[in-house]
Chains A and B, each alone.
Chain A
């Protein structure tokens, strides 16, 4: 009797939950569209799953450190709405004819957060600090390409390269560090212990106020910012380690911005009127692509027909619909859609299981014993393991769907999900894998030498598949060595054609970024670069402000 009572209670609770889901309505309601005047004030609350690793983002590779870094620090160059490099702390720049020298003319009105003026000395110092052998900067590679950086005068910097370097301008989005504060620490390699790591000063739009470890970071608007004081007075960056909790906070309006809703949340859980009134959802192509990589050293995958068979066996639309709820676009290559070097005029493999089986048969794999699995001429069945990292739901689902599709053409795939550290150390780096589901960021510059050149196969280098195509090698080298866009674009188009044909990895899709912002925040202007590129222009009109500005 008591047990029945207990169960009845639970059913009641379930009923209550079901009733709540009735809130999901498909009628869209636009948020208030009154054109308000710009105003200063209010606090902006962003949620992040991870805590920041450090207050000197140069030393970090985690995204939260870079987000905070983006507000506190600034670079010579930044990205505009359309992913072009435009002036930030540099007013302008010029290349020499041979592409070996790059001169920056710096703005004269930039000040550090402690009032000292920003000069060319800081730029020179930043370069020296990053390339210094004792500085553990994860992304120093691009600065190692430089021969020298000199200050021609207080506001002019000359960067000299031994060879033309395609990413030169782009690389100067790097955070500039204050020489007057950090110089003593670089030689000792004690950057992490400097006061900069507790109370950083930068030249960015926001000044650091406090960091409560594991809890939040608070930033205040910088009134002396060279582009004008930002309108949002305060940023609070809250650390919430659970995606489910972040979503609940959004619903309860405890958080103003989340970088990425999951696809399911975007399409199914945020369609009700109250949510649409309180938040604006955005959608733009993300900067990473997801793929299934083959280990080309494995004789089975060395045969291009097998890889092409897999390409036919898998239904990319199904993956996009099933995993990303339609919020992604198919890709056939590693270049970012929307960027200047992108082309979609490349070979495309349709979903065609019959063709897949034919290709497999051509390569020597057919079902000889009628058990539903294909075998080679010695009777060995085609089984392999797909590995991916733990903590990524999307990749898990992709692996599961691919597993099923391959089973339909007679290939048996097993899945292993491994924690990140072990994954990288045991499988990825020593190239002890057969296939991986992973993602890679495609930067704004199409140069992907490190990923596709046949020389980049060392354990710490990024050519994981072991791809080696002499024509692609040559094109990569030429593309890197030029700074003239009209010339480079031809090389990169040809590279994309070859990669699409060779399929060293199955390029699956580029997922849309799905940020969501409180509707009271105005001034957003979505574009290929996303929405945060003009954060210092966002504002909340006075009548809509919620938090006391601080």
Chain B
């Protein structure tokens, strides 16, 4: 395990540099710059300001120089300040958005797992049954429904028509005056619709993967062996097959991490949730390079580390990797 860990950690740094360098070049070369955003459509804008800001931000230096100065400051954990007129430190801006995004996405992920895993397992075990068919249709419909369409329908129905749930935002007007529990309840009611929309669409991926994986596992020799040993079906499936079938799911979890941390742009903008996705989109439009880069670094670092944990977890769970190469038999 030791050398494995070290190797993986060593990869993180060059990977980060690669990501940030490529992104920096791409976003800097994209036409337009932070100053063009500043210009509205008014005939009053001053060209002097342009020059001023260009020097201030170092935009007149060659790209590699700009990147290097950014990188060296990053090494001192100085993420810089936003180019927007609010001049806030990049970390502050990210810090304002990250918790909400993480909360929303972690809850969503937990719900998806809690629902998708049983569905996937049962579908596999009862392959071809009407249960299998119904759930297949259900999760695919969820996948096929465009997010914003579903969101607007639900908001219109539950929010505007029935008035049961708030339509947008994170908090009610009178949040500051509510009791502690009142506040928590208020949060939950605001996050209810976004989570429903996000989960409905995300069920398909996991449950199908689970089903697929389960189907493969069930056909393996060791499952037959377990049955032959006289173990009950429940133990066979629940204990032996399931554990192995979960492995690929862990992989998929790793693949969905950037989305988890990066936030969903569409859901955030429809539900007016100030999260990381919105931050990323707005800073790209405004060519707010420090924020874009900072955002990327944070997402990349968190993702890479989460992937690392996933790999370690994988290693613990899969005896083949742990013991090194022998065909697994339990």
Direct A–B contact in the complex, CB atoms closer than 8 angstroms: yes
| Chain A residues within 8 Å of B, Cβ to Cβ | 2-3, 6, 13, 16-17, 20, 43, 45, 51-56, 59-62, 65, 133-134, 136-142, 144, 189, 192-193, 197, 212-216, 236, 238-242, 244-245, 248-249, 251-252, 254, 288, 419-426, 429, 438-441, 448, 450-451, 458, 460-462, 547-548, 550
**B266 CB, min distance to chain A CBs, angstroms:** 9
**B201 on the interface (CB 8 Å rule)?**
no
Contact between A420 and B37, CB atoms less than 8 A apart: yes
Contact between B43 and A59, CB atoms less than 8 A apart: no
**B207 on the interface (CB 8 Å rule)?**
no
A88–B171 Cα distance when bound, in Å, is 36
Taking a contact as CB atoms closer than 8 A, the residue among A141, A193, A421 that contacts B46 in the complex is A141
**B291 CB, min distance to chain A CBs, angstroms:** 12
**B279 on the interface (CB 8 Å rule)?**
yes
- Cβ contacts under 8 Å, A213 to chain B: 88, 93, 96-97, 274
A150–B42 Cα distance when bound, in Å, is 29
Which A-chain residue is minimally distant from B84 (CB atoms)? A53
Which A-chain residue is minimally distant from B140 (CB atoms)? A6
Contact between B38 and A242, CB atoms less than 8 A apart: no
Instruction: Name the residue among B97, B159, B163 with the largest chain A CB count within 10 angstroms.
Output: B159
**A268 CB, min distance to chain B CBs, angstroms:** 15
Contact between A248 and B156, CB atoms less than 8 A apart: yes
A244–B161 Cα distance when bound, in Å, is 15
Instruction: Name the residue among B44, B141, B274 with the largest chain A CB count within 10 angstroms.
Output: B44
Contact between B38 and A61, CB atoms less than 8 A apart: yes
Contact between A141 and B45, CB atoms less than 8 A apart: yes
Contact between B86 and A138, CB atoms less than 8 A apart: no
Taking a contact as CB atoms closer than 8 A, the residue among B44, B84, B153 that contacts A142 in the complex is B44
- Cβ contacts under 8 Å, B32 to chain A: 419-426
Which B-chain residue is minimally distant from A210 (CB atoms)? B176
Q: Given A136-B56, A425-B32, 5 other A-B contacts at CB below 8 A?
A: A60-B85, A61-B38, A248-B152, A248-B155, A421-B286
Q: A62-B40, A133-B48, A254-B166 are in contact. Are A421 and B31 (CB under 8 A)?
A: yes
Contact between A53 and B45, CB atoms less than 8 A apart: no
| Chain B residues within 8 Å of A, Cβ to Cβ | 30-33, 36-50, 52-53, 56, 81, 84-88, 93, 96-97, 133-134, 137, 141, 152-153, 155-157, 159-161, 163, 166-171, 173-174, 176-177, 268-272, 274-275, 278-279, 282, 285-287
Which A-chain residue is minimally distant from B93 (CB atoms)? A213
- Cβ contacts under 8 Å, A3 to chain B: 137
- Cβ contacts under 8 Å, A460 to chain B: 45, 47, 50
- Cβ contacts under 8 Å, B53 to chain A: 136
Q: A53-B84, A422-B30 are in contact. Are A248 and B41 (CB under 8 A)?
A: no
Taking a contact as CB atoms closer than 8 A, the residue among A61, A419, A440 that contacts B45 in the complex is A61
Contact between B85 and A425, CB atoms less than 8 A apart: no
**A250 CB, min distance to chain B CBs, angstroms:** 9
Q: Which 7 A-B pairs have the closest CB atoms?
A: A421-B32, A214-B274, A192-B87, A54-B85, A460-B47, A240-B272, A422-B31
Contact between A212 and B274, CB atoms less than 8 A apart: yes
Contact between A13 and B31, CB atoms less than 8 A apart: no
Q: A136-B49, A248-B167, A547-B174 are in contact. Are A421 and B37 (CB under 8 A)?
A: yes
Q: A248-B155, A440-B41 are in contact. Are A239 and B272 (CB under 8 A)?
A: yes
- Cβ contacts under 8 Å, B40 to chain A: 61-62, 138
- Cβ contacts under 8 Å, A2 to chain B: 133-134, 137
Contact between B274 and A439, CB atoms less than 8 A apart: no
Taking a contact as CB atoms closer than 8 A, the residue among B39, B50, B141 that contacts A6 in the complex is B141
Taking a contact as CB atoms closer than 8 A, the residue among A54, A242, A422, A440 that contacts B43 in the complex is A440
**A431 CB, min distance to chain B CBs, angstroms:** 15
- Cβ contacts under 8 Å, A251 to chain B: 160
Contact between B170 and A141, CB atoms less than 8 A apart: no
**B26 CB, min distance to chain A CBs, angstroms:** 14
